[in-house]
Amino acid sequence: MYKLYNVKRWGSMCAHLLLEDLGVPYQNIWMTPEQVRAPAFREISPLGYIPVLGLRDGRSVIESSAIMAFLTNAHPDKELAPPPGSDDYAIYLSVMAFMAVNIYGAINLAYEATELTDSPARAEAMKVKFTEREAGLFGIIDRRLGKEGPNLLGERFSAADIYLFMLTVWAHPTERALLDRYTNIARVAADVRARPRLKAALESHGVLEPAG
């Protein structure tokens, strides 16, 4: 059985929702931020980051986009991604990596930029910059959805939409402001929230309703 190292509202939310949507068995390990930050957790996740997916053979997978791509490949019958090797699959990976590298990265730095500088004033200035960058990146996704939607992969709902939903929950200045500004993204977020098999997991992260 898979093991999901999970923190409420953190990056494990996408994997948690995907595991529920796929309907595959897994062990859910709720963790506190203190447990994640303890030195012992670095043996599982070298940067001390969540999410981590424990495999059946005891090894661990880190990086949210890798976990999402792995799970959809491992359970192709659930059709939450295009068939591996297809051109559509290339687009799926590309969109997923775009969000994981750029949007997730900008959101993290819009929360806290002290990893990049020892100067509190510079950290504050960077937070402003990354908040602007985050909005611009969400804008690219919103325009894509407007042209090629209703989902990130057109007619097909996929794990990429679940991933996008997670990012919207963390948006600056608030989730509500993002959804009001970007209506195509708002539609995807509403569709994710409307999936009956996700209700319990959404509730467990406190994200059944938009915040802000």
| Positions in the binding site for ligand GSH (CB under 6 A) | 10-11, 36-37, 48-51, 63-64, 100, 104, 108
Please name the residues in contact with 189: beta carbons below 8 A apart, sequence gap of 6 or more. 164, 165, 168, 179, 210
Nearer to ligand GSH (CB atom), residue 92 or residue 104: 104
Nearer to ligand GSH (CB atom), residue 18 or residue 50: 50
Nearest Cα to Cα of residue 163 among 14, 2, 9: 14
Nearer to ligand GSH (CB atom), residue 10 or residue 26: 10
Task: Work out whether the CA dihedral 179, 182, 183, 188 comes out positive or negative.
Answer: negative
Distance CA 162, CA 21 (A): 10
Nearest Cα to Cα of residue 52 among 70, 67, 30, 39: 67
Nearer to ligand GSH (CB atom), residue 184 or residue 192: 192
Distance CA 18, CA 159 (A): 7
Burial class (CB in 10 A: 0-12, 13-18, 19+), 103: buried
Beta strand 2-6 pairing with 26-30: parallel
Min dist CB 65 to ligand GSH, Å, is 6
Residue length, the chain?
212
Nearer to ligand GSH (CB atom), residue 107 or residue 184: 107
| DSSP code at position 102 | I
Distance CA 85, CA 98 (A): 19
Nearer to ligand GSH (CB atom), residue 100 or residue 184: 100
